[in-house]
Chains A and B, each alone.
Chain A
Amino acid sequence: MSRLRDAFLDGLWRENPVFWQVLGICSALAVTTRVENALYMGAAVTVVAMGSNMMVSLLRRFIPRDVRLMVEMVIIAGFVALFDLYLKAFSYPMSQQLGPYVGLIVTNCIILGRTEAFALKNGVMESVADGLGNGLGYSAVLVVIAVIREVGGSGTFLGHQVLPAGAQPMRVLVAAPGAFIIMSLLAWAFQYMKEGRRV
């Protein structure tokens, strides 16, 4: 049981994919202008990470080593295409909002990294827990950034007005530089809390 918990907690917090492994930055910057986008993107990455980890772990004794990266990519691409179809069929406006970023999950290093570094060497349950932890770790970061950007930059939360009408939202937060500034401040805070490092 503790191995499952470790696999989960490593991804969620101790080795957080965005702040610690510094992976998946591109999409974390791109889709965090609205909290709703961040939630869907986080769900996409979590589902794909769990599914790919599960499949790779199931097949780990059979995957020939010389083609393992290709096999992993095919499995990941399959799950991403599946999620993309799901959004187009059941949540079309969101698939329009996220645009190319769902498809680009294929190239998200978090997922290939987890299948290669974890699922290939561990059992199915641990691999699913690892995928869940990393996916949720990524989602949590996205949501935190998105809350700051949407509330501060647009004055809304999940599309509802939260700032008083007179307050002037900080437009820079919605623009790309705002994403960089918030991301780096949060990454600094994370490292400081985790390591007590004075960076």
Chain B
Amino acid sequence: MTEIESGNILKSLSFLGVVVLLTMGALAWTHTSWSKRILTNESASRHKAILEGVGVSTRGMDSNAIEYMFTKHFRSGSGGILRYTGPGGPLSCYPIRARGLWGPIEGWLIMEPDGHTIHSVVITHQEETPGLGAEVASPSFLARFRGRSIVYAGGRRLAVVKAGQARAEYEIDGISGATLTTRGFGQGLDSAMSMALKYGGSR
């Protein structure tokens, strides 16, 4: 077993090939039998954030319960907008699609029925640098948006600026040490606010 059997390369490669095929087969079979659970989990983890965002607690809920709550309380509208009609509602959720430093940042801008007050901002996906850009998804950063208006005197819009540089009432501090993440997120949030102003309005 220990000496190198050169000249038998074909046999060796065939052995390797068989091992690869068997492994792939076993994995493909497992994946197929579990794929329904996995898809439900992935979808529930996205919906969990928005449920928490509108104020529905998902503590201790499994994926199926989260999916049930989501379909019960949310209706989808045009342009990817979600309307929430559960307790504490109605609220409108506008999708945030932003470019981060390493990949997309996705989330929701959740607006009060008055059409210009932010209820909350949630992040459902981000791939930013842990400890720096990843703070975009931290409760302490997102809390800065809660209850803020998106429009101000003189047609000014709420804007995310460099960390520590928020002076005017329409400015919000960005994330320190993450200029590009802050900028990308700010632009994504701005598009969502445009949508909110277009489709929201006082009702």
Contacts and interface: CB of A to CB of B under 8 A. Distances in A.
Interface of A: 59-67, 70-71, 74-75, 77-78, 81-82, 85-86, 88-90, 92-93, 96
A63 B30 CA distance: 25
A61 B15 CA distance: 12
B191 interface: no
Contacts of B168: none
B27 A78 contact: yes
22 contacts: A60-B1, A63-B15, A64-B16, A65-B1, A65-B4, A66-B5, A66-B9, A67-B13, A71-B15, A71-B16, A74-B16, A75-B23, A78-B23, A78-B26, A82-B26, A82-B30, A85-B30, A88-B34, A88-B38, A89-B34, A90-B37, A92-B45
B12 A92 contact: no
Interface in B23-76: 23, 26-27, 30-31, 34, 37-38, 41-42, 44-45, 63
4 A-B pairs with the lowest CB-CB distances in the bound complex, closest first = A64-B12, A92-B41, A78-B23, A89-B34
B19 interface: yes
B76 to A, nearest CB: 23
Given A61-B1, A65-B4, A77-B23, 20 more contacts: A60-B1, A63-B15, A64-B5, A65-B1, A65-B5, A66-B5, A66-B6, A66-B12, A67-B12, A67-B13, A67-B15, A71-B15, A71-B19, A78-B26, A82-B26, A82-B27, A88-B38, A89-B34, A90-B37, A92-B41
Contacts of A70: 16
Contacts of B11: 64
Contacts of B27: 78, 81-82, 85
Question: Of residues B6, B19, B31, which shows the largest number of chain A Cβ atoms within 10 Å of its Cβ?
Answer: B19
B8 A64 contact: yes
A88 B38 CA distance: 6
Nearest to A70: B16
Contacts of B63: 92
- State the main secondary structure of chain A at its contact with B: helix
B197 interface: no
B33 to A, nearest CB: 9
A62 B15 contact: yes
Contacts of A78: 23, 26-27
Contact of A96 (B5, B8, B26, B45): B45
A59 B16 CA distance: 12
Contact of A75 (B9, B19, B37): B19
B202 interface: no
B2 interface: yes
B20 interface: yes
Contacts of A74: 16, 19-20, 23
Contacts of A62: 15
B84 to A, nearest CB: 23
A129 to B, nearest CB: 22
A82 B11 CA distance: 28
Contacts of B38: 85, 88-89
Nearest to A90: B37
B37 A89 contact: yes
Contacts of B9: 66
A133 B200 CA distance: 61
Contacts of B44: 92
B10 to A, nearest CB: 10
Contacts of B16: 64, 67, 70-71, 74
